[in-house]
Chains A and B, each alone.
Chain A
C-alpha cells in the first residue's frame, strides 16, 4: 500500500548534493511531491525534507541508497503520525477584493493573515497542512487568485535523536 513518507536528509554543504539525492528517486521512477532545503540547527549541516508517496519496502531501499552518499550525514524516514509538519502558502489577489466582506470572512475563518497590501494587489499568508492551504485556495478562487505559491513541507520529527548528539557520536 502506498503511504506518504517524510524523508529528512542531513547533509554536508557540498555542491551537487541535491542532485545526488534526487537521481536516486529518478532511477527508481519515483516522483517527489515536495522538497525543501535549508541549513539545520547545526552550522554547515543542511536539512532536506522530501515528501513522497510510495511503498514502505521501496522507501527503505531508497533511504539506504541516500545514506550511502558520501556527503550525507544521516537520513530519517517517517510516516505522517511521526512528524509535526507545516507548509506555508501565499495567495495574491486584487486589493479591491478586500472591501468585499466575504474575503474578510474567509481570512478570519481560515486563520490566514494579510502580509501586504498594495494599491493593485494584496498577499495573504496561510500556514498549515496541505489540506488547509488547499482549502483556503478553493475559497479564494471565486475572488480571483492572481498568483499562488506553496513552500512544500517542512517537518520536525517526533522520535528522532538530536542531530548534534548524533554528529558528536560520528566524530568520536
Chain B
C-alpha cells in the first residue's frame, strides 16, 4: 500500500479501517460522493447504516458510542447534511460522547463563493465540537483522521468533525497511516496528583457522614470495578447523576439513589446533611445542584474530574483532584481505612421509606385507573431484571425511566442529559443495538419526542434492527405541561398533542406493533414485545396529567425537594 497511490476518498476508508471502525452511520450527497463511492468497496469490513436524516446518524453514533465505549462514526454531505449534525454535536459535547463526523465540502476553489450546498461548517460547528478541521489536500487526510480519533476518545471524550473538500477526496496520494498518540498542546491524561489524593483520603478518613456522587466519568474511564472496591472498603453511600446510572449496581446495598431535580429524596436531602461530599466524574449540573448558594455548604467537597475546567466551575472544591477517575479511585482505595457507616446508611433507608410511603399514598392506583408511566417502567425493569439497555428521550418518561428502571449493568442507560434533545432516543437506540447486539435494547419515548425523529423507523426497516420501542403516550408534552400546571396556573399553552395511529405507522414500516391501554394486559404486552425476534413498537396509553415527583423546583435548594 505504501507505494501505490490511492484517492483521498479511499484514504478516508483506509484510515477508518486502521482505527478499527466497522460501523458508520451516514447519508450520502453531492460533496461526499467520492467517499461513498470508495465505501462501495468496503462492504465486507464496514457496516454502513443508511439513516433517514443526518440528525439520526449522529444520535445513532452517540448511542453506539455510549454502550460500546468505542467512537461513533458519521458521514454526511456538505451544507444541509452537515448543519443537520449540529444538534447531535452539541449533545455529544455536553454529554462527553466520542464521535467522529466526516463531512463532504465543496471543492476548495469554490470555498467562500456561496457554491451549491456550501456552508461554513467549520465555523458553525466550532462551539459544539471538541475539535474540528478542514482538509483541502488528500495528503492531509490520514493525519487529520488520526488526530480526530485521538482527540475524540482521549481525556474527556467529545465529538470532532473533519470537513473534506471534494477535490481532496478525488486527489491521488501515497497512503501511510500512523495513529496519533500525542499532541503538544493537548494533555488529556493528567498525571495522578498524589498530594491531592492524600489530602482527599485524610478528609475521607475523618468523615462521619460521607456521601459520594458519581457521574458518567466512571464509565468513561472504565472505573466501575475501582468504584465498587472503593465504595465497599470505605463504606461510603453512592448516589448517581442521570448519566452515571448503571456505573454502580442499583441493587447494591451502598447505592442510595438518583440525584437531582427529579431524583430520589434521600440523596438530595443528605447532600445538605453530609460532612464530606466526594464527587467523581460529574460536573454539578444545575439539575443536580438546585440553588448552588444553598448546596452542600456544610460539607467538605472533594471533586475528582479529568477535565480541569470542571473543577471549581460550579461548586468550590476543598480538595480538587485533577485526575482520571480510575487511577484516582484505585489510589484512594489504598489510602482509605476500612469502615462501615451503618447508622448513616440507616438515615438514607429511613428517608427512602418516607419517599416510598408518600408516593404510594399520593399515587394510590385503583385497578380501573389509567396506566401510569412509573408502573410501566418498573414492570419492564422487573421483566428484564435490570439487564437491558434503556434508551430514553427527554421529558417525563425520561425521568420515570431514570427513577424506576433498576440499572444493574454499566453502559446500559443511554439518554440525552446535558442538552435535553427531544428526538434523541429512536436513532440512539438503533446505534445502541449495533453497539450491544447481544443485549435487549429498549427505547422508552414520549409521544412528543418520538415524532421528532420517527423517520428513523425507515432505518430500522431497512437495516433490520431489533430495537424495542415503548411509547408512553400521555397525549401531552408532559414535562412542559407539568411545569405549566405547577408554575403557570395550568395555562396549557400548546402542550396538548394529537398523534397519528402509532401502531398503524409502525406496521407501515413492517414493524410489529400493538397498543395497550388496560392494566390487565400490560404484562403480557411487554412480554410479547420482549420475546419478539425483530423490532417491535408498543404504544402504552398512560394517564394524561401525571406528574413526576419528587421535584426540586428551579431555584430551590436540594433540601427543599417536594414529594408532592
Taking a contact as CB atoms under 8 Å apart, the answer to whether A23 and B127 are in contact is yes
Complex CA gap A47/B396 in Å reads: 49
- Determine whether the beta carbon of B183 is less than 8 Å from that of A70: yes
- Shortest CB–CB separation between residue B309 and chain A, in angstroms? 3
A-contacting residues, B6-23, CB 8 Å: none
Indicate if the CB atoms of A12 and B307 lie closer than 8 Å: no
Interface residues of A in 8-43 (CB under 8 A from B): 11-12, 14-16, 19-20, 23, 27
Inter-chain contact A67/B308, CB cutoff 8 Å: yes
- Give the distance in Å from the alpha carbon of A65 to the alpha carbon of B313 in the complex: 10
Alpha-carbon distance between A20 and B312 when the two chains are bound, in angstroms:
23
The chain A residue sitting closest to B185, CB to CB, is A73
Indicate if A98 sits at the interface (CB-CB under 8 A).
no
Contacts of B308 on A, CB cut-off 8 Å? Answer: 64, 67-68
Task: Select B313's contact among A11, A61, A170, beta carbons within 8 Å.
Answer: A61
A12 touching B126, Cβ below 8 Å: no
Residues of chain B in range 302-348 having any CB-CB distance to chain A below 8 Å: 307-309, 312-313
Q: What 1/0 mask marks residues of chain B from 287 to 309 whose CB sits below 8 Å from any chain A CB? A: 00000000000000000000111
Nearest chain B residue, comparing its CB with the CB of A73:
B185
Residue B500 interfacial (CB < 8 Å): no
A85 to chain B, nearest CB (A): 25
Q: Is the CB of A71 within 8 A of B126?
A: no
Chain B residue with Cβ nearest A20: B126
- Is A70 within 8 A of B186, CB to CB? yes
Q: Determine if A170 and B126 form an interchain contact, defined as CB atoms under 8 angstroms apart.
A: no
Closest to B184 in A: A170
Q: Which of A55-108 contact B (CB under 8 A)?
A: 60-61, 64-65, 67-68, 70-73
Counting chain B CB atoms within 10 Å of each CB, the highest count among A11, A61, A65, A68 belongs to A68
Least Cβ distance of A48 to chain B in Å? Answer: 13
Chain A CB within 10 Å, residue with most, of B133, B185, B308, B313: B185
Contact B184 A70 (CB under 8 A): no
> Is A67 touching B126 in the complex (CB atoms < 8 A)?
no
- In this assembly, does A114 line the interface, its C-beta being within 8 Å of a C-beta of chain B? no
Q: What's the Cα separation between A115 and B203 when bound, in Å?
A: 65
A118 within 8 A of B: no
**Cβ of B186 and Cβ of A27 under 8 Å apart?**
no
Residues of chain B within 8 A (CB-CB) of A14 are 133
In this assembly, does A147 line the interface, its C-beta being within 8 Å of a C-beta of chain B? no
Among A11, A27, A60, A70, chain B packs the most CB atoms within 10 A around the CB of A70
Q: How far is the CB of A8 from chain B (nearest CB, A)?
A: 15
Q: Does B134 contact A (CB under 8 A)?
A: yes
Chain A CB count within 10 A is highest, among B122, B123, B184, B187, for B184
A169 to B209, CA, bound (A): 41
Given A15-B134, A64-B313, A70-B131 in contact, is the A170-B122 Cβ separation under 8 Å?
A: no
Contact between chains at A16 and B184 (CB < 8 Å) = no
Q: Does A109 contact B (CB under 8 A)?
A: no
Residue among B131, B133, B309 with the most chain A CB within 10 A?
Answer: B309
Cα separation A38 to B498 with both chains bound (whole Å): 59
Q: Check B185–A170 contact: CB distance below 8 A.
A: yes
CA distance in complex: A80, B308 (Å): 26
Mark contacts of A44-59 with chain B using CB atoms, 8 A cut-off: 1 yes-contact digit, 0 otherwise.
Answer: 0000000000000000
**Contact flag A16-B122 (CB < 8 Å), given A71-B185, A167-B184, A170-B184:** yes
In the bound complex, what is the Cα–Cα distance between A28 and B313 (angstroms)?
14
Are B123 and A11 within 8 A (Cβ)? Answer: no
Report the Cα distance A56→B556, complex, angstroms.
26
A70 lies within 8 A of B187 (CB): no
Q: Are A64 and B127 in contact (CB under 8 A)?
A: no
Q: Which of A27, A64, A70 contacts B151 (CB 8 A)?
A: A70
Given A61-B309, A65-B309, answer yes or no on A70-B126 (Cβ-Cβ < 8 Å).
Answer: no
Give the distance in Å from the alpha carbon of A11 to the alpha carbon of B313 in the complex.
Answer: 23
Given contacts A14-B133, A15-B133, 7 further A-B contacts (CB under 8 A): A19-B126, A23-B126, A67-B309, A68-B308, A71-B185, A73-B185, A171-B184
CB-based closest 4 A-B pairs = A64-B309, A73-B185, A70-B131, A70-B186
What are 28 residue pairs bridging A and B, where the CB atoms are less than 8 Å apart in the complex?
A: A11-B185, A12-B184, A12-B185, A14-B133, A16-B122, A16-B123, A16-B126, A19-B123, A23-B126, A23-B127, A27-B127, A61-B309, A61-B313, A64-B308, A64-B313, A67-B308, A68-B307, A68-B308, A68-B309, A70-B151, A70-B183, A70-B186, A73-B184, A73-B185, A167-B184, A170-B184, A170-B185, A170-B187
- Please give the residue numbers on chain A whose beta carbons come within 8 Å of chain B beta carbons, in ascending order: 11-12, 14-16, 19-20, 23, 27, 60-61, 64-65, 67-68, 70-73, 167, 170-171
